[in-house]
Amino acid sequence: MVVLDSATTTSQPVPIRWVMRKSSDYNYDELAHIFNETRIDYIVPMPMNGRRMEDYVRDYDVDLRNSLIVTDPDGHPAGMGMIAFREQRAWLTRLGVVPHLRHHKLGHMLMTGLIERAYALFAKHIQLEVIVGNEPAKRLFHRHGFEGERELSILNRPPARLETQPADDIQVTALEGEALHLCLAEQRHTAPSWLDESASLLKSEDITGFSACHRDGSSGWVLFRKARFQMSHFAINVPPTYADAMLTALFHTIHKSYPSLDAKMENFPAAAPGMAALQKIGYIEVFRRIEMHRDLR
Ligand SMILES: CC(C)(COP(=O)(O)OP(=O)(O)OC[C@H]1O[C@@H](n2cnc3c(N)ncnc32)[C@H](O)[C@@H]1OP(=O)(O)O)[C@@H](O)C(=O)NCCC(=O)NCCS
């Protein structure tokens, strides 16, 4: 039980009995609405609608029966937190409390509830991401035992002229059908984040990609989702020694093939080789996230 100060005829605080409900009690439009209410003042605006919420839940294996909505006794939603599972790992996402009810331990309650669910479903590890500069959330996650590890960069590229010249010892080829699935079955040189793990891309039918082959036989690839106006959900696997050269060749071909499309790349590890090549090809960093982890024992 949390005690909230509220306007009353006496100066006594009014106790509120918060109710924890399953996210599966709500439809996608309602979930999107609750999410938007918790993020009205968020550092990076990311409004959702029902359809996008449904895609999000499917792509990232969100488990709605174990995800939480906290409400007041009248059923008004005050906050939410989602949990996704892959094998013995859990991922926490969409955590938020509506602005006027923050600082009343609802964030703590949601985190405790989600971690309990991870234990109950035999997860051995939990991960999450927090935007660099979101100190309240980072502090909350630290208090629940999460440690920051790598920084992930979110990059955008509007349609633009290509100034790069790819090396002629790297050959780029379009990938189709089974070849795309073979790429996704590979272990990558740099571990992907939850968003660009193969399991996230496999859910979608509009995946396309290109492979790069160096004269010495080394190879790499970039896969992505191509929609009408935008390329997104990039998954990348290039050998570190050729990262700059291969990414230059691959992205040169990608943007030459689809010159009018915007590109949105999420969670490229900021310290990974190849960042310089992406910047030269026109990618601009919009913000960064920190990936945080906690083992469950
Ligand atoms: C992060 C968030 C969920 C915290 O919810 P909350 O209900 O206000 O948090 P609580 O009252 O349970 O406090 C939990 C802890 O968060 C931290 N915290 C909360 N607000 C804070 C602030 N303004 N500054 C610093 N730390 C803060 C503290 O560590 C606090 O624990 P403590 O008081 O025991 O030290 C809330 O601020 C929020 O919804 N923010 C916008 C959405 C968001 O950032 N989501 C996370 C995305 S990764």
- Kindly state if the Cβ of 102 falls inside 6 Å of ligand 1: yes
Tell me which residue of 217, 266, 230, 222 sits closest to 247, measured CA to CA.
222
- Kindly state if the Cβ of 99 falls inside 6 Å of ligand 1: no
Which range, of 94-103, 109-118, 148-157, 159-168, averages the lowest pLDDT? 159-168
Question: Selecting from 3.10.20.30, 3.40.630.30, 3.90.1150.10, 3.40.710.10, what CATH number does the domain 2-123 have?
Answer: 3.40.630.30
Report d(CA 80, CA 49) in Å as an integer: 16
Q: Which atom of ligand 1 is nearest to the CA of 105?
A: 12
- Kindly state if the Cβ of 136 falls inside 6 Å of ligand 1: yes
Task: Report the top-level CATH class of 155-289.
Answer: alpha beta
Helix 28-38 and helix 50-59: axis angle, to 10°?
Answer: 100
Evaluate whether 2-123 and 155-289 have a shared fold.
Answer: yes
* Residue with CA closest to ligand 1 atom 42: 96
Report d(CA 131, CA 185) in Å as an integer: 29
pLDDT at 12: 62
pLDDT at 21 over 50: yes
pLDDT at 2: 45
The domain ranges of the chain are: 2-123, 155-289
- Kindly state if the Cβ of 166 falls inside 6 Å of ligand 1: no
pLDDT tens readout for residues 182-231: 999 999 999 999 999 999 999 888 999 999 999 999 999 999 999 999 99
pLDDT at 46: 87
pLDDT at 16: 81
pLDDT tens readout for residues 62-87: 999 999 999 999 999 999 999 999 99
Pocket test for ligand 1, best of 46, 97, 266 (most atoms within 8 A of CB): 97
pLDDT at 178 over 50: yes
* Residue with CA closest to ligand 1 atom 10: 105
pLDDT at 5: 43
- Kindly state if the Cβ of 103 falls inside 6 Å of ligand 1: yes
The Cβ of residue 95 has, within 10 Å, a number of other Cβ atoms equal to 22
Report d(CA 271, CA 281) in Å as an integer: 18
pLDDT level of residue 45 (50, 70, 90 thresholds): confident
Q: Which atom of ligand 1 is nearest to the CA of 134?
A: 44
- Kindly state if the Cβ of 144 falls inside 6 Å of ligand 1: no
Q: Which atom of ligand 1 is nearest to the CA of 108?
A: 12
- Residue 287 CA to ligand 1 center (angstroms) comes to 20
In this prediction, residues 146-168 reach a mean pLDDT of: 91
- Residue 7 CA to ligand 1 center (angstroms) comes to 23
Report d(CA 136, CA 141) in Å as an integer: 9
| 297 Cβ contact list (under 8 Å, min separation 6) | none
As a whole-number percent, the residues of the chain with pLDDT over 70 amount to 95
- Kindly state if the Cβ of 135 falls inside 6 Å of ligand 1: yes
Cα-Cα end-to-end distance for the chain? 28
- Kindly state if the Cβ of 81 falls inside 6 Å of ligand 1: no
pLDDT at 27: 98
Residue count of the chain = 297
